[in-house]
Structure 1
Amino acid sequence: MAKSASSNARTLERYRQKRDFAATTEPIGQVSAAGAASGALGFVVQKHAARRLHYDFRLELEGTLKSWAVPKGPSLDPTEKRMAVHVEDHPLDYASFEGVIPPKEYGAGTVIVWDRGTWMPVGDPVAGYQSGKLKFELQGEKLHGHWTLVRMRGRGDERQDPWLLIKERDAFARSAAEYDVTEALPDSVLAQGNSKSAAGGNAKTAVPKQRRSRPGQGRQVLPAAARPAPLPLALAPQLATLTSTVPRNAKQWAYEIKFDGIRLLARIDGDDVRLFTRNGHDWTSRLKSLAAEIRALGLGSAWLDGEIVILSANGTTDFQALQNAFDSSKVEDILYFVFDFPFFQGHDLRLVPLAERRALLKAVIAVPAATRVRYSEAFEGTPDDLLAAACQMGLEGLIGKRVDAPYVSARAPSWIKLKCKQRQEFVICGFTAPKGSRQGLGALLLGLHDETGKLHYAGSVGSGLDSRMLTKLLAMLTELEVPVCPLGKLPPRVVARWVKPKLVAEISFAEWTKEGRIRHPVFHALRADKAAGNVTRERPVDVEQLRPRPARSVKVSNADRVIDPTTGLTKGDLVGFYEAIAPHLLPHLRGRPVSLVRGPTGIDGELFFQKHAETIKIPGINVLDASLWAGYPPLLEIASQTAIVAAAQLNVIEFHTWNATKRAIDKPDRVIFDLDPGDGVPWRHMLDAAMLTKTMLDELGLVSFLKTSGGKGLHVVVPIAPKLQWSTVKTFSQDVVLHIAQTIPQRFVSKSGSRNRVGKVYIDYLRNGQGATTVSAFSARARPGLGVSVPVSWQELEELTAGDHWTIRTALQRVDAAGYVDPWAEYADTRKVQQIGTAIRKLAG
């Protein structure tokens, strides 16, 4: 019997819980009733360079993709039985997904469609799947013939039960010693020109293997900060931040042309050269001759970062001409301007300052023989003069880069965009009919995603569309047509045909209206290299607000040492943050025993948790009386702003405090409920969890306060008068958590351990035991991004986007903003009078 749409929605629930669709471009999945489980069905094999490279084998069945993770990939050798771990069902439209899943998201890494086609079940596929033995025939671009999936254990209730993927003996079977299909055919089948099957031989021979020998090659002196490291399979590029101002210290910045092209990263591993777009799409097959020129440089192993362009007659870059080059197969005219060098000859260069990386890059790239691979030069002059000259020449603008900054795989303030005019990407959501003599279509209706991932109307564009593009767009949009508008509220009198929001258009315009619409827009091109799900409004920022304030009261040793490689933030940045935030942080530290998390080499190195005064001497720190906690060494207290800055200077990253003060250390003065999401918990569920916890506390007659954790979760804090013993308060917190978990078991769990909390929120009540600590409000966290724990009002809950909503870059802007009101202003008065005795009796009754 075919499954219903509602049944498939439940089947995909686990898939959706694991992913934040505001962050990843993976499809959320359209829910529909399953078709008949017979005849030809679709299959896909996706090559997934996550923490470990593996292949995701997916078969269409009962309206979803039944999925297995195959660590070594499929083998054509019947004697090689490949492990296949059964994972959650995926939606059918996942079969066409290629791209980069962002860092910190589930399955982070690069995904390509390695093979696809149809499969023919042998016998009843539903019965075979349920019994654990599924036989079928594949008709793919690389995989063919008969195969079997067999479960290794005889029951089907395991969450990730192991299966085996086995090739049957037939005409398509080949010995592993003779032929490895994953090595021979590594590319995406979605790339143009890559249609060779497994029976067709080794696809690597499509690009000539040649190497140019150059004097001095291989004898380059590597910078001091280069670190030995294997060449990663995938690399997300650094992205620039749009700014409204230029940096004040011109000597710290270098400026390059903002190319009007497509971002391209080249992975070189000996003779194997692969070319990837910024979203991880493999374009090697589309740019074979360019790959050959890069191979001929003889770099050994490396990652290059740059942009492919077409130069116009006046020397500017022309994006439309670049698109036409692909359409007309004139790819030999495409140039590759390289501007960064993250890896080279077995070394990771990402922590090397930009100036040194580019000097090394220029030495190995800037050679006359590399006619299409060119070094992107920087220009001398003030940024104002350079930008004026760029605009006068008809260029898009400039990219400014800090010469002392590392390379980070994220949008970072060490790279900035200075544009000549307003121009960005929009999602095409619909189109209108043509008027008069115009052919094809009238105008494109445009949308942008907000912070929650919803699409909102941003205006329409009809200018800039020539007859060729109108014809092309009409054909593409007709295939995507849907009956329902994908946008939110529309202006009145809009009559249009709606489409799936898949296509991205680059538009220039004069300005934004107060309603969030664009004035005088002009269409420039479609952007196949940009994911529609990531298109939001670009908002320029003041470049001087992008970095924490430098410390003024203390000389910072090793201030330029990077402590967070994901953002390039330095020890000097952290110390400067703590000096500026100290007036807000100190009230949460003063009078309480404190524990310190120290990271001498940064967040990736070893972290030390220190709560006693045995091995640390920080100017201004107080050593408390040893009698406060009998049997233990003396505790510590941070009692001044000077001590905060001095601690940061000595590599302290996090400040944690007790739930009691030194004056009444045996009686806690607050109860903390730490909401910690398990794997696969969407952020929406975290917001719901916080509000449900508040509602429970409201029912008990308790006033609670909220803060972000600076990490993954949220903290709900109940201030109380210090009247009760630790054991009583801890038992009360445990009873509250147990009640919530028993009342809403589908959302909450009261047991610790990662296995227990998958898809659920764990409320940690153990924070309320004697000697336990919790990160202080306004403390940074030793995690990628250096998030900050920030107090918020309950009215602000819905505006939060993550537990690290604020970082050391942005937390100061919050407290410095005009009209800022402390959301915890009533906290101290509440603590004086609030007691939990009545609440304890309510829970017991």
Structure 2
Amino acid sequence: MSEVPEHGGSRQVVMVGGRRITLTHLDKVLYPETGTTKADVLGYYAAVADVLIPHAANRPATRKRWVHGVGTAEGPGHVFFQKNLDSSTPDWVRRGRLQHTHHVNEYPLVNDLATLTWLGQISALEIHVPQWQFGPDGSPRNPDRLVLDLDPGEGVSLSECAEVARLARAILRDMGLDPLPVTSGSKGIHLYAALDLSHTSEQVSQVAHELARALEADHPDQVVSDMQKAKRPGRVFVDWSQNNSSKTTITPYSLRGTLRPMVAMPRTWRELASPGLAQVDFRQAMHRVERGGDPLAGLLTAHSGGGDPAGVAAVGGPGADALAVYRSKRDASTTPEPMPAGVVTAGDGRSFVIQEHHARNLHYDLRLEHEGVLASWALPRGVPTDPAKNRLAVRTEDHPLEYGAYEGVIPAGEYGAGTVSIWDRGAYDLEKWRDDEVIATLNGEPRGGLNGSARFALIRTGGKNWLIHLMKPRPSSGSYPPARSGSVGSSAGADRRIRYRPMLATLGSVTDLPEDDAWAFEMKWDGIRALAYVRAEDDPAAEVRLLTRNGNDVTPAYPELVATLPGALRADSAVLDGEIVALDRAGRPDFGLLQTRMGLTDRRQIDAAVAATPVRFMAFDVLERDGEPLLDRTYAVRRAVLADILEVTGAVQVPPAFDGDSAEAMRSSRNLGLEGVVAKTLDGRYQAGRRSRSWIKIRHHLSQEVVIGGWRPGNGRRSGSAGSLLMGIPDGGRLRYIGRVGTGFRDRDLDDLRARLDPLETADGPFADVPVADARDARWVRPVLVGEVEFADWTAAGRLRHPSWRGWRPDKTPADVVREAP
């Protein structure tokens, strides 16, 4: 788990997996076409680390770096490949060494989030690895996967690559291999098939070459296997060469250095059959991972994995050294953890414990008694509560049986430093125990975190990484609090309350909402996010606490809410999520007004501010009712509870949600003068402390009809087409220049541009005020074509900020075009 900042900044020091990393230039734009920053890149890699790392682990990673960004359609950014590690590499980065003809190269191993974060910090956008891993002794093993790169030649679409992928799949299945597809994030498709480590890279390359030749022989009009580029137009090139031990392929889930931040994204075969098949960008990738896990997981479970060079113990394992790794990580003279001596004797006990571990990052540890020790897994995201959503389980060293009763504080500087408490414990019923799969029913204590019994499956996905799956639905009264971090409540020690962290939304658009999900739409309020801890008792002032997103207590600053919330509550107690807002005379949220209420501590100033600028609490969620956590209930259930327990008053509101109608919600938001809406899945759980794509905030984008007066040639894949269009608005008999647009075009738009523009070419530019830099290599056209763009706002110079192409408007003439926004 990481603490990667969400927003830009010049320099920040973070702790990631126990490693101290300095992040710089977080606001640097690495993808100018979309405004994607280094902070966005770091956030993406943190979000997909659990699925990316298993596919890259223990493989020498070649990096492709764009230190100054990927460039634009008008010119690529500077890029360079890096194999050998340089002197600035942190000493904690694990590495592997390869002997080349005349030298030895040292490569990083992307085995943990800290290393992945460091790669993002140095703008290593693409991560390339071979099809083999280092073994425990540090030497290369035989390949554990075969790969085919299906690369479309000129004039070939992604859907045609998918057809060739299906043809290749049929052959591979006849060979006993079942391939899995990855859209490359660039142009084509990669096919991976798991191998059993019994063949050398040379042998696998030969097989892949013969397979490519067979495809070409059977389908000469569709497939080419020859390396000569002259033979590729109109056909799919089946590149078999990446199975060579010295060749690499982009890692699944890696970003690409394309104009937009695209991703090498694992897909399903059903998706490949879709007529709308397209490459996936990083926001779509995060949403897919969150909802569906890793479609490529079968590649990891089909073989024994690459092992761990660090030597993590296998599951179980009786004998004198069963606790050797455990002891080696701890100093018995400083830590209070149990340190038994002597030989471990195998037994048949069935005890278990789940411990809540507040180390650098909160996580849970699952320990099952097996052959005289506690086989242990760390659960970074907690115990699964939804059978549809698996969670990561990381195999750690075996622990002594005495650890099953341990609670206490591990001192700073020690391994796992922090507070350990027992979340639940008891005995388990075992169904299966293998090196790659464990199935057991855990029977917890009556008041434990499991709230009784739960049946889980642990499935190994490769190396130390496992998945933990809830095999049966949890009881409806379950109250697992995955995001708790301390206690809040009254002074009575027996009345401890869970302290929650608010769930965060992901920025997106209406197009990011999958049609197969049911969504509700709430207004986006321009205020301060706050969690309200409320008890409806006689002394209201003592029974309300208002905590901001960062955990700051702002209760004294808003006495009108302290006075009103308990009386509005139709329950004994509750934890509410909402926004504190100040309204202007038109009844619209005004953040400028709210700022007059912020930071006040003097009682007289607060009272005066209350009279001048009263605030309201816009409640939109409930996390707890009468001591029962509701995090695992669906959004629809939580909203029903909220409506049931909270009475609307002047200062306390429950704004309505629109079910399933994004257009109406956006219209209402615009009419109310609000920022936009937040779309929420009706079946979504409350993911405390996490940024989730089951909540998507959609801001209003301004749109403008424009007259096209010229274009500039593109580079790279847009060579021969337009890189950007020059736009204007009629103004007093002249065409006033308002900027150029180079993003938002689909492939068919690009193909159509020259056909529209070339017949209109003219020698003279139609604009009265186009800058010299924009006119440098412009091709002018008669200003008769009208299009439409979205944009963020207007600059002081009268240009569109961040315009994105929406399409042509053949129903409009230039005379119809006017400035549509202030």
- Whether the TM-score (by the shorter chain) exceeds 0.5 is no
Higher strand share: 2
TM-score, scaled relative to structure 2: 0.27
TM-score, scaled relative to structure 1: 0.26
